[in-house]
Amino acid sequence: MTLLDFARGPALYWSTLIMVCGLVWRLAGVALLPFRPDRSAAGPQSRGRVRGALGTIVSRSLPRRTFLARTFATVVVGYAMHLGLLIILLGGAPHILLVAQATGLSWPSLPKGVVALASAVTLVTLVFVLVRRCTHPVLRLLSNFDDFLSIVLTLVPVATGILLAEETVLPYRTLLTWHILSVEAMMIWLPFGKLSHVVFVFAGRAVSGAKLGKRGATT
Amino acid sequence: MKPRDTLGQKLAGYGISRRALLKFAAAAATSLALPPGVAPAIAESLSGARRQSLIWLSFQDCTGCLESLTRSDAPGIERLIFDFISLDYQETLMAAAGAAADETLVRAARDNHGKYLLAIDGSVPTAEGGVHSMVGGRTNMDMLAELAEGAAAVLAIGTCAAYGGIPKAAPNPTSAVGIADLVKEKPIVNIPGCPPIPEVLTGVLVNFLTFGRLPDLDDLGRPLAYFGTTIHDQCYRRPYYDQGKFAHSFDDEGARQGWCLFELGCKGPTTRNACASLKWNGGTSFPIQSGHGCLGCSEPDFWDKGSFYTSLSGGEGPPWDAVGGAAAVGLGIGGAAAFAARRSRAAVDRQLAKEWQRDHGATATSKTEEDGP
C-alpha cells in the first residue's frame, strides 16, 4: 500500500470517524451540561430569546466600530482568511466532488482562477497570523501549543492545495498525498483544539444572545 | 533462420532497406529518450546483433499480455525484431508439447546459460508451497528459481508479473507475488500494464541488443523512457483539466465535448505509462481517447485502490452506518461527561446546602431559643 492509498483509504476512513465522534462528544458534553435557570425578569427592551440569539450571531460577526481603528488589520485578516477558506471549501471543484461522492449533494463550482485567488489570500493571511503570533510579545505570552498547532494544521492543507492545483514543485501524486494527509490531520485535531470553534462559535454566541436578548441588553 | 544470422541479414531478407532501419532506429532512440545522434549507432548495433535467446514462461496469468504483444496489427520492424529474437520456449506459441517441450526448455537454458533473457507474464503463487500454479508437475516458484539463476536478466511482462496484479488482489487466496519479490540476484525490468504496450517490450529489447544492458529504471523497476511521465501530463484532454472543464457523467455534454474525465475516476494523474503517447492498435487510440478514464493498470495494486469510478480527490470514506456509530459513541462519551458534571454539581449543591443549614440552621435554632417563652 502506497502512502496515497493509505491517505485515500484507512486514513480518510478513521479521520472522518474521529472527527464525527469528537464533534458529537464535544457538542453533547456542553449541550447536556446543567444550565443555570435564568430567573431574571425580562427587561423593558427585551427582544426575546430567539431574536436575541439570532441577532447576536450576526452582530458578533461584525466588527465593533468602537475598536475598529485599533483592530483594523486583525479584522481584515480574519475576514479574508475565513472567507478565503469558505471559497476554497465550497467553491473548489475537487472539494465539491468529494462531498458529492460521499453524500450525493452537489452544487456548481467556482472558476479555478477565483479559487486560486482565494487560496493565495488565505495562505498569505495564515502566514501573517502565524508570524504575528510568534513575534507579538503579548500574543506570544497568551498563546499555547493549541494555538500554533491549529494555525499550522490549517496552513499546510492550503499550501499543499495550491501546489496541487498548480501541479508545481513536486509530482502530482506526492502533492495529492500530502494534501489529503494534512487535511486528515486537521480533521482529527478539529474537535479537540481551538479549531472546534467551527461548531462552537455560533452555538456560544446564540446562548449568550438568548440571555442578553431576554434582558434587553444591547449586544 | 540460421543461428548466426544477424538482424541486418534478416531485415534484408524481408526487403527492409537500411534507410528504413535508420528511421526505426531514430524512432527507437526518441522513444528511449536518447539523443537523435545515437540513431545510427543503434542501427549499426542492430544490424550486427546476433539472435538473442529468450525463454518466456507463463505463470498465473490470463494470456492477455501475450495476446497484446503478438497481435500487433501491422508487422513493422518492431515485429521483425520480435521475430528475430530466438523465442526458445513459450508454451502458448510453441508447437512442441509435453516431454518434448520440457526438453526444449532444458536445452535452451543449458545452451544459453548466463546469456538468455527470461521473460515472465503472470504472478507467482506462493501459498502452500506454490501448488496453485504448476507446469509439468513443477511449481512456478521452482521454475522461476531455477531459470532465473541462469538468466542474463529477467523481464516481468504485465502488471501481474511486475507487482502481482489481479491474482494478488485482496484477499489474494494464492499469496501471489510479483517476480521482484522472489528474484533478488538478477537485474529485473518491469513492463507493467494490463496488458503492457508492445512497443515498450520492443524498446527494452532494442536497448538490450544495442547497449547490452537494460534501460534506466524508475523506483518501481520500470523503464524511465516509457514510465517517466504520467498519463495526465501527456493527455490531450489535459487543457480541459487546467480550464476546469470536466465530464460529470459518461453521457453528458462534457463527455460529448471530450472534456477531462477526472471526475469520472480517471487515474491518469497518478499513473505512469506511455498509453497517451504511443497509444494502442497501431497508434489509433487509448482508453481516455475512447471516452473512459485511465484505470491506473500499470501501478502496483491498481485493483485494490477502490472503485475505478471514484475520483482521485475522493476516497474510501466510511459508510453511513460507521459514521452513525461514531456519532453514537461521541454522544455516549459526551453524555457521560455531562452526567458526571451534573453529579459533581449536585454534590457541590448538597454540600453547600448542608453548610448553609449548619450555619443558618444553628443561628435560627438559637434565635428561637432566645425568643422562647
Query: What single letter denotes the amino acid at residue B64?
Result: G
B80 and B212 part of one domain? yes
Asked whether A55 and A219 are in contact (CB, 8 A), the reply is: yes
Chain B contact probe: residue of A8, A103, A115, A119 with most B CBs at under 10 A: A8
Interchain contact, A25 vs B311, CB within 8 Å: no
Residues spanned by the domain of B335: 322-349
- pLDDT, one tens digit per residue, over B223-273 is 999 999 999 999 999 999 888 789 989 999 999 999 999 999 999 999 999
Residue A18 C-alpha, separation from nearest chain B C-alpha, in angstroms: 7
B188 - beta bridge partners?
B154
The set of residues, in sequence order, having a beta carbon less than 8 Å from that of A52 and lying 6+ positions away, is A209, A210, A211, A212, A213, A214, A219
Give a yes or no: residue B311 inside a domain: no
pLDDT for residue A158: 97
Residue A40 has pLDDT above 90, yes or no: no
What is the rounded distance in angstroms from the CA atom of residue B132 to the CA atom of residue B172? 12
Residues spanned by the domain of A117: 1-10+71-219
B256, three cell numbers: 460529448
B215 and B333 part of one domain? no
Give a yes or no: residue B56 inside a domain: yes
pLDDT for residue A37: 78
More confident residue, A162 or B77: A162
The set of residues, in sequence order, having a beta carbon less than 8 Å from that of B276 and lying 6+ positions away, is B231, B234, B235, B236, B268, B286, B288
Give a yes or no: residue A33 inside a domain: no
B158: left (phi over 0), alpha (psi -120 to 50) or beta: left
Number of domain units in chain A: 1
Kindly report the backbone phi and psi dihedral angles of residue B303, in degrees, each rounded to the nearest multiple of 5, phi listed first: -75, -20
Interchain contact, A93 vs B246, CB within 8 Å: yes
Average pLDDT, rounded, for chain B: 87
B247 and B341 part of one domain? no
Give a yes or no: residue A140 inside a domain: yes
Scanning the structure block, which residue is given the C-alpha cell 459526551? Answer: B334
B127 and B248 part of one domain? no
B65 and B166 part of one domain? yes
More confident residue, B189 or A204: B189
B290 and B341 part of one domain? no
pLDDT for residue A103: 85
Instruction: Give the nearest partner residue to B330 out of A21, A95, A112, using CB atoms.
Output: A21
A139, three cell numbers: 500574543
Q: Does A89 reach chain B within 8 Å, measured CB to CB?
A: no
pLDDT for residue B373: 45
Give a yes or no: residue A107 inside a domain: yes
Distances in whole angstroms, Cα of residue B291 to Cα of each of A208, B45, B294: 56, 41, 10
More confident residue, B366 or A5: A5
Chain B contact probe: residue of A19, A97, A168 with most B CBs at under 10 A: A97
Angle between helix B198-211 and B18-31 (nearest 10): 100
- pLDDT, one tens digit per residue, over B316-373 is 788 899 999 999 999 999 999 999 988 998 899 899 999 988 888 766 555 555 554 4
- pLDDT, one tens digit per residue, over A100-130 is 888 888 888 888 889 999 999 999 999 999 9
B270: domain CATH number?
A: 4.10.480.10
Give a yes or no: residue A199 inside a domain: yes
B171 and B250 part of one domain? no
Residues in chain A closer than 8 A to B306 (CB atoms)? 8-9
Label residue B72 by pLDDT band (50, 70, 90).
low
Number of domain units in chain B: 3
Between positions 118 and 147 of A, the ones with CB within 8 A of B are none
B169 and B183 part of one domain? yes
Distances in whole angstroms, Cα of residue B332 to Cα of each of A21, A28, A99, A194, B338: 10, 8, 27, 22, 10
What's the number of CA atoms in the CB half-sphere (13 Å) around residue A146? 10
Give a yes or no: residue B270 inside a domain: yes
Would you say the ipTM is above 0.90? Answer: no
More confident residue, B20 or A3: A3
Interchain contact, B338 vs A32, CB within 8 Å: yes
Q: What is the dihedral of CA A148, A154, A157, A162, to 10 degrees?
A: -110
SS3 track for B193-210: CCCCCHHHHHHHHHHHHH
Between positions 302 and 361 of B, the ones with CB within 8 A of A are 304-306, 310-318, 322-323, 325-327, 329-331, 333-335, 337-339, 341-342, 345
How would you class B191 by CB atoms within 10 Å of its CB: exposed for 0-12, middle for 13-18, buried for 19 or more? buried
Give a yes or no: residue B40 inside a domain: no
